[in-house]
Structure 1
Amino acid sequence: MAVTVTNLIQGPADLYRAPFGTAEPTEADIELEVPDTTVGAQWDDLGGTQDGVTLTLEQEYAELEVDQIVDVPESRLTKRTFTVKTNFAEGTLENFKVAANGGTITSAAGHKKYTPAMDNSAVSPNYSALIFDGIAPAGLRRRVVSRKVLNTAAVEQPAQKDGQTLFPVELKGHYVSKTIPPFDYIDEIAVGS
């Protein structure tokens, strides 16, 4: 089997966040002629990350069985989970708010304050939309749009003498609607391909 070295991928990704339901950039925005930062003014750049950004698609299947054969004749998809996992390296209140799934940030002379949302279990959580801009084969761009995410990891803020403060997040995708998929992968292709 021949190896196509231009299909090998290495490099960092940028993350952008907006409230759930925010208009997405068009698929044409990923083309070479458009600067890499074209996501729209409504999208907040989440800044630096550490330990990379991991996209995980986990699918669970139920196996069907019949008495007449020993092999599994078919399987049916019963659960799908799409997760974006990273560590926010910029310890801002804005990133803490994303990790905490909401709240408010207020500013006054000489200080800024984060206050958590005063929700209860009957209130729908504060979902976000997420854009991952990374590398595709041939050094082109890959954009992954996750339309409805919620951080399900514990929100931590370590303060240590010999380590950087990071906010770990696991942003899990959720169902949007019958006609809108929860996520899309979009790869730029070279002009003429």
Structure 2
Amino acid sequence: MSTFLRDHKIVFKIIGGAIVPFVNGKRNDLTYCHTSFEANLKCRLLGVNGVKDTCVNGYALGDSVQNNIEFSYYSECPELIRMLDSVCPTTCLLHDYQEESNAFLISYLVNVADVILDDFSQVCFSDKVEELVRCYLNRLLDGFGKDEMINADLGNAVLRVGDDVDLSGEGCIVRKFENGQFELLQDNLLGTK
């Protein structure tokens, strides 16, 4: 992605402990945010004001990811591209990214102890499991008796893990998303059969 951004004349520099975007050599000042994209980019992704989010987002149930209401949003492009496109619309980032890239779904086994649940600070393993089960049951109850229950995303909560968590140990499943369908490219999850 860094090559893609450089090709669009977007680079980042660290100034005063914050990551600052430069577009066509000109500093993009995010001091005064006018949109939610600017505020999100400034605070969450670029670490301004000491707030930084370097987590990896994912879904609890990869096999039913297409039924998740946020899937179309996330499959179009990474959040950073969408936010930068909003902040710098003349760069055509979103359009170009969609033309030049493909979406992939990569499934990993993740230890529940490594999972970060938003709005839960430092909860223990059993509390995380309990919260995930509660989310699944709530989704089931919300859809009970409705036609969409058949195709519903059964509690496919968005999960997060820190960028320091090693996801390579157990292998992975890689699927390419194209024309509204997933194509299996690789399945090498070790010891899970």
**Which protein has the bigger strand share?**
1
- The two structures share one fold, judged by TM-score above 0.5: no
How would you bin the TM-score normalised by the shorter chain? under 0.3
Bigger Rg over Cα: 1
TM-score norm. by structure 2 comes to 0.25
More helix by share: 2
- TM-score under structure 1 normalisation? 0.25
